[in-house]
Amino acid sequence: MNKEMIRTKSQVGHDEEKEQPDQQDQQEQQEQQENSEETKLRIDEEGNLSSLDDIQTTFVALKKLLEEQVGLNKSFDVVFREMVFGGKKIGIFYYNGFAKDEVLTLVLNRLSTAGHISEAGEDGAITDVPVHHEIRHAEGEETVQLFMDALIPHIQVKQTDKLSEVIDEVSMGATGFFFEGSSSAIVVDAKTFPVRSTEEPDLERVVRGARDGFVETLLTNVTLVRRRIRDPRLKLEMLRVGRRTHTDVCLAYIDDICDPMLVESLRDKISQIEVEGLPLAEKQLEEAIIGKSWNPYPMVRYSERPDVVAVHLLEGHVALFVDTSPSVIILPATFFHHIQHAEEYRQTPMAGTYLRWVRFLGVAASLFLLPIWFLLVSNPELKPLGLEFIGPQETANLPLIVQFLIAEVGIDLMRLAAVHTPAPLTTAMGLVAAVLIGDVAVKTGLFVNEVILYLAVAAVGTFATPSYELGLANRLTRLLFLIAAASFKVPGFVVVATFWVIYLALQRSYNAPYLWPFIPFNLKALREIILRRPFLATKTRMSLTKPRDRTTRP
């Protein structure tokens, strides 16, 4: 067999136009990058031209292509098993780690019971009532259709005449069946993934409520949501991102509620992403959608709870599921979406409202407590009467601003240490941080007690923020406020705080104002943010998502 590769006429003509050496190098690199998308030809054993994407009718040529494209006989987990069923030679192509043994065993048992196969009857039909197929007039079509219609007992089966499609499906866990003498193949979706059980997510725990959470398998995640929203208008569109990883991305929305312009915009953005892959899943997808920005504040909301995602879908939001990630992206999202928690809706309206106000107070303390206290103690004339007890009662060897900066970095360092410390050693690490560092630092005169106290209150407010991303952003903002207050006193703090509010007001999460309903002001929506109202008291959806159906009750 002649193995020489030849180019199409269009490529040869294009190369003749390139005269400069550097342009030729660029053209060669471009050809290599688009190797999987271009149509190349080869000469088969009979001397005919055939596309590299065509399924070869002989297993010798087919295995040669698989050796070149997927590393057959090189990668230990790539398997091409040749067997004979019903007098027909069949090649079974799969990745060893993805194959679901139980399903494939049932398929092989059924195939092993088939006797000698007659490809067609007298009238040319396989059965009295032939099944309609998309692949028609392919070589060996009768054999493939007979196996597909009568001999492979599985519900997720499709036929294809493209080798690239078989390779893509197999790389996602399916199994390909090739037939000697046939130019088409059958793909059976019989796969299994390493997956953990559904558990309550650590970042969104509730006292009462569902204990299931998303896992790293996309199909499991969308099923958890489908279980809660049994509406046939819940649409789950599957997209694929990444030239190498082919990562599955599911676009979820309720058709008669969600704004179609939002869905179309997201679909176009995801389709236009040109990257090698998304190994970090949802975070890289978020940055690809939002664009290049150094904004520390999250423009999307993450959730690992199916009930939270279901609630947002019913409000007209769009959810993005990414395979291999337990976090789901919710769009659009405002600042106030990041400080809501499912626990508020698991309690009575009065208790939920109280918990929400306490959370608001904690978020405000994490931002403004330290810079305001610093301004009051560094400018005694600003301290109101009766607040002398706020300190500091003693002095330290380091200036207050230096103490704050060192303590802020120290808390972040201890947080990172807690993440990377094995579970049996976390208690010892906490004792070292609290006793040996905190207490000794005060006794040696490096810190004053008030700095440790107020910094601890601010840290608790940060930990009380439901969104981990928002908590990190508020921590950076707090440092900025402290530096501005230390450098320019009250004017510096006022200017930076004003700039911070204006900056957030100008941000938009897919055309949704980030500080809505505070800016622009919407009294009715703001009441929903401040109060946790009874379930039946809410009759309309918020206008933020521009829902097609604004009513929530018949």
289 vs 53, higher pLDDT = 289
pLDDT tens for each residue of 270-312: 999 999 999 999 999 999 998 877 899 999 999 999 999 999 9
400 vs 445, higher pLDDT = 400
- Tell me how far apart the alpha carbons of residues 214 and 212 are, in angstroms, rounded to a whole number: 7
Determine the average pLDDT of the residues in 198-207: 89
Among residues of the chain, what percentage have pLDDT more than 90?
51
Q: Which pLDDT does position 51 carry in this prediction?
A: 61
Q: Which pLDDT does position 143 carry in this prediction?
A: 80
The strand ranges marked E within 324-468 are 328-331
Q: Which pLDDT does position 354 carry in this prediction?
A: 96
Among residues of the chain, what percentage have pLDDT more than 70?
84
Q: Which pLDDT does position 27 carry in this prediction?
A: 54
pLDDT tens for each residue of 92-103: 999 988 887 778
Task: Give, to the nearest 10 degrees, the angle between helix 400-420 and helix 349-378.
Answer: 140
Q: Which pLDDT does position 115 carry in this prediction?
A: 64
The first and second tokens of residue 329, run together, are 């992206």
pLDDT at residue 10 is higher than 50: no
Place of tokens 């390779």: 167
pLDDT tens for each residue of 108-128: 888 887 665 554 444 444 455
Q: Which pLDDT does position 337 carry in this prediction?
A: 94
- Tell me how far apart the alpha carbons of residues 224 and 173 are, in angstroms, rounded to a whole number: 21
- Tell me how far apart the alpha carbons of residues 404 and 390 are, in angstroms, rounded to a whole number: 16
The first and second tokens of residue 525, run together, are 């929506």
Q: What is the pTM of this model?
A: 0.82
Q: Which pLDDT does position 512 carry in this prediction?
A: 92
Most trustworthy range by pLDDT among 52-56, 127-131, 218-222: 218-222
pLDDT tens for each residue of 63-109: 999 999 999 999 998 999 999 987 889 999 999 888 877 788 888 88
pLDDT at residue 482 is higher than 90: yes
pLDDT tens for each residue of 135-157: 666 677 778 888 888 888 778 88
- Tell me how far apart the alpha carbons of residues 362 and 458 are, in angstroms, rounded to a whole number: 8
pLDDT at residue 266 is higher than 80: yes
pLDDT tens for each residue of 501-545: 999 999 998 889 999 999 999 998 999 999 999 998 888 898 899
Q: Which pLDDT does position 156 carry in this prediction?
A: 84
Burial class (CB in 10 A: 0-12, 13-18, 19+), 371: buried
DSSP 466: S
Contact 56, 50 (CB under 8 A): yes
Place of tokens 């994407």: 53
Instruction: Give just the sign of the alpha carbon dihedral 438, 444, 449, 451.
Output: negative
Nearest to 167 by CA among 158, 155, 175, 179: 175
pLDDT at residue 403 is higher than 70: yes
